[in-house]
Amino acid sequence: MRKILLLTIGIVLLSASGVQAQQDDSPHRIKRNGKWGYADDKGNEVIPCKYNHAFPFYESDLALVESEGKFGYIDKRGKVEIPLQYAKAYPFSDERAAVKKNGKYGFVTSYGYEVIKPRYSDVKWGFIDGYAWVKKGCKKNGKWGMIGKYGTTFVDFNYINLSYFDPNTGAADAVTKDGVIHYYLKGKRYPSKKERDAVVAPVPVPDPKPTPTPQKPLFVWNDLPSSTTSPQMTVSVEIQSESEITSCDLYLKEGNSGSKGSHVEADIIESPKNGGFSKTLSRTFTLREDVNTIVVEATNAAGSYKEERTIKYVSPEPPTIVWEGDYPDKTTKEQLLVKARISSKSDVSWKLTVTSSGTTKGSYTAKDIDESSNSGTGCNVSKSVKLMPGYNTITLEVTNASGKKTESKKVWYSPCEKRIALVIGNANYRRVENLGRFGKLQNPINDAISIYKELESCGFDMMPIVKNANLKTMQESINAFIDKANKEHYEVAFIYYSGHGVSPSIEKREKQESFFIPLIEEDSIAYIEDLAKYAIDANRLIEDLNNKTDCRIKIAMLDCCRSCNLASRAKGPMALKGMNPLNVPFGEQIFFAARYKEAALDYINRDDTNSPFVTAFLQCFREYPNYKWEDLVKKVILKVHELTGTYQEPKAEGTLKGDFYLNPYHDKP
């Protein structure tokens, strides 16, 4: 801040002295909203007020400006002629301007050429009539001397201080290490201050102008991309030079040979450049597939020079869309994860929309900014979208240089009750010697798998399927099912069991009992009296389902009631058939595969893969998918009766609370 203040004071003094007054036709400085700019004589802002500091044009066509701590120079139209790159700078004086870079001062011309490289630790203003006072060495202990406009030393660097310096006349008092004062005026030393001040029109010591070293031309390209999908590309290059540009060209290199090949001459615009020379070459090229090399060349007093730029041309091709993940034609889930892979040779953007009944319900857009996409490898789409009841059309619109490509997926969404189901199948029973038997069954596992798949397709949250389970596994699975249905507030609970089931009929029992038989461990169930301890109490299951859950709909499909023999300790061997009616509360329904005291067949023909009950259920559900549950049950009863030749007749007990459709898509057209 102190340096800027001193600089400003120096400028004000110069302006007041009249040595370097601002040119009459130059814009004048103005300050608005804390920033500096320039206005014409009528007060119209001609250069925006955006600089922290701005200085008059003085004798030059360039004005010193500062922004964000960096100094540079602009012309009267506001164009930056010398970039804002210096830590400190002074206005132009005597065709030179002092600038500070990397901690050192040097001097530049109005063309921006460093005529004197930065090597001085301090300066006193700048050049006056061909001379400038500069300091060599460190800022604190360096020595002052005087140089000419091309860096020639005219006063040796022997002076520890300039006790006086007049930027108006160039008069200076230089102090030696011994404290002796030497008096100078524009490079000439005088014996005393009086004699120096008596000189009215001092004659300056001539500064022999050395022959400057020719500088190579500077090439300024327009902004070019590294790759493009456009076959045409306009390239312009400005050639800046201190000396005359005797020849120049702009062309597309022919292959790897470097030859120009046949080409149209570039358009050339010539213009002066602050005392130098400038030519702007412009040409529109037709690019070849892959890498193209654009060459500009120019010749001036320093010799012939060239520069190259490469542009990769990729011919536009339509993008490809590969859908990933599962897109069912129907679902009960409100959220659907949309995933796709987009491949493209050029930059690509995508838009994802979800429409229902012709109305856009949700729209998601993203501009791919991954670097791999910019190189042409595409991008990934992963978005969870919300569906609306009915048909939903999920549309992915992809755009690249070749245009748009659109693909769609159609999904029917049916919101339904929150559903949970447990499926159990026991088949691998073993015989209990001398006491009776639970015979090995053929199809319960197949039946369980078939029912599991059907319920899963109907939007049920499925508990892990239970196969050939012992008592502990069965009980834990049932408890987990009831606990989950309760805690997660399911509206529908469905249980399916396939295996042996019995209802012992023993005199003097207070109630009729029914049991689901797990796989028997050793001789755990050897007598009827062992059932209560080693089997699943069917009535207890129905009570827990009613008392421990708030489900509106509770259904149990029991494909058991298959015949078996078991013994009573009191009476000996007994043939057990069927299951007793269960205590079914309101809101539940038990769908038995067979009536009371009737056996449920495991199969009709030996090669059957499902029981008649499951076979009839699957056939009826697929034939009448939009039936209410109670109507579907009636169809199944008739079908089982038909398949078994009237031998077996299913039985439904209990009443549901309200209508229930097993098929959640019953309203799908």
Task: Work out the number of other CB atoms within 10 angstroms of the CB of residue 537.
Answer: 16
Q: Cβ contacts of residue 142 below 8 Å, gap of 6+?
A: 121, 122, 135, 136, 157
Task: Examine the pLDDT at 73 and tell me if it is beyond 90.
Answer: yes
DSSP annotation of 200 = S
Q: Cβ contacts of residue 474 below 8 Å, gap of 6+?
A: 424, 466, 516, 518, 536
Q: What's the CA gap between 114 and 94, in Å, rounded?
A: 15
Helix (H) or strand (E) holding 67: strand 63-67
Tell me if 584 sits within 8 A of 656, measured CB to CB.
no
* pLDDT class of 299 with cuts at 50, 70, 90: very high
Share of the chain above pLDDT 90, in %: 43
**Which CATH number, 2.40.50.150, 3.40.50.1460, 3.40.190.290, 2.40.50.100, labels domain 419-653?**
3.40.50.1460
Tell which residue, 277, 292, 274, 160, has the closest CA to residue 225.
Answer: 292
Q: What's the CA gap between 166 and 456, in Å, rounded?
A: 98
In tens, the pLDDT along 606-652 reads: 999 999 999 999 999 999 999 999 999 999 999 999 999 988 999 99
In the sheet where 227-228 sits, what is the strand order?
227-228, 303-313, 290-300, 247-252
- Backbone angles phi and psi of 614, in degrees to 5: -70, -40
Task: Examine the pLDDT at 369 and tell me if it is beyond 70.
Answer: no
In tens, the pLDDT along 385-430 reads: 999 988 899 999 988 878 889 999 999 988 888 999 999 999 998 7
- The token duo for 111 is 């063309």
Tell me if 53 sits within 8 A of 65, measured CB to CB.
yes
Model pTM above 0.75: no
Q: Cβ contacts of residue 125 below 8 Å, gap of 6+?
A: 10, 14, 90, 93, 98, 132, 133, 165, 167
Q: What's the CA gap between 177 and 480, in Å, rounded?
A: 100
Tell which residue, 343, 257, 346, 246, has the closest CA to residue 295.
Answer: 257
Q: What's the CA gap between 580 and 597, in Å, rounded?
A: 7
Task: Examine the pLDDT at 336 and tell me if it is beyond 70.
Answer: yes
In the sheet where 431-432 sits, what is the strand order?
431-432, 436-437, 564-568, 572-576
Helix (H) or strand (E) holding 633: helix 629-643
pLDDT, average across residues 175-189: 84
Class of 218-313 per CATH? mainly beta
Residue intervals of the chain classified under CATH 2.60.40.1220 are 321-413
The count of C-alpha atoms lying within 13 angstroms of the C-alpha of 491, restricted to the half-sphere facing its C-beta, is 11
Task: Work out the number of other CB atoms within 10 angstroms of the CB of residue 324.
Answer: 13
Class of 321-413 per CATH? mainly beta
Tell me which of 38-47, 403-412, 442-451, 526-535 is least confident: 526-535
Task: Examine the pLDDT at 272 and tell me if it is beyond 80.
Answer: no
Task: Examine the pLDDT at 267 and tell me if it is beyond 90.
Answer: no
Residue intervals of the chain classified under CATH 3.40.50.1460 are 419-653
Q: Determine the 3-state secondary structure of 5 from DSSP.
A: helix
Task: Work out the number of other CB atoms within 10 angstroms of the CB of residue 15.
Answer: 16
CA 323 to mean position of chain CA atoms: 19
Task: Examine the pLDDT at 285 and tell me if it is beyond 60.
Answer: yes
DSSP annotation of 112 = S
pLDDT, average across residues 214-228: 90
Task: Examine the pLDDT at 574 and tell me if it is beyond 50.
Answer: yes
DSSP annotation of 528 = G
DSSP per-residue codes, 445-469: HHHHHHHHHHHHHTT-EEPPPEES-
Residue intervals of the chain classified under CATH 2.60.40.10 are 218-313
In the beta sheet, which residues pair with residue 471?
A: none
Alpha-carbon dihedral sign for residues 379, 380, 383, 387: positive
Q: Give the CA radius of gyration of the chain.
A: 49
What is the pLDDT at residue 97? 93
Tell which residue, 66, 63, 61, 58, has the closest CA to residue 87.
Answer: 66
Distances in whole angstroms, Cα of residue 282 to Cα of each of 249, 268, 305 = 10, 7, 18
Q: For the purposes of burial, counting CB atoms within 10 Å of the CB of 5, is it exposed (0-12), middle (13-18) or buried (19 or more)?
A: exposed
Q: What's the CA gap between 493 and 481, in Å, rounded?
A: 9
Catalogue the E-assigned strands of 359-402.
Answer: 359-367, 379-386, 390-400
Q: What's the CA gap between 393 and 406, in Å, rounded?
A: 12
What is the pLDDT at residue 511? 61
Tell which residue, 590, 594, 562, 592, has the closest CA to residue 576.
Answer: 562
DSSP annotation of 501 = E
Distances in whole angstroms, Cα of residue 13 to Cα of each of 6, 9, 17, 76, 492 = 11, 6, 6, 23, 94
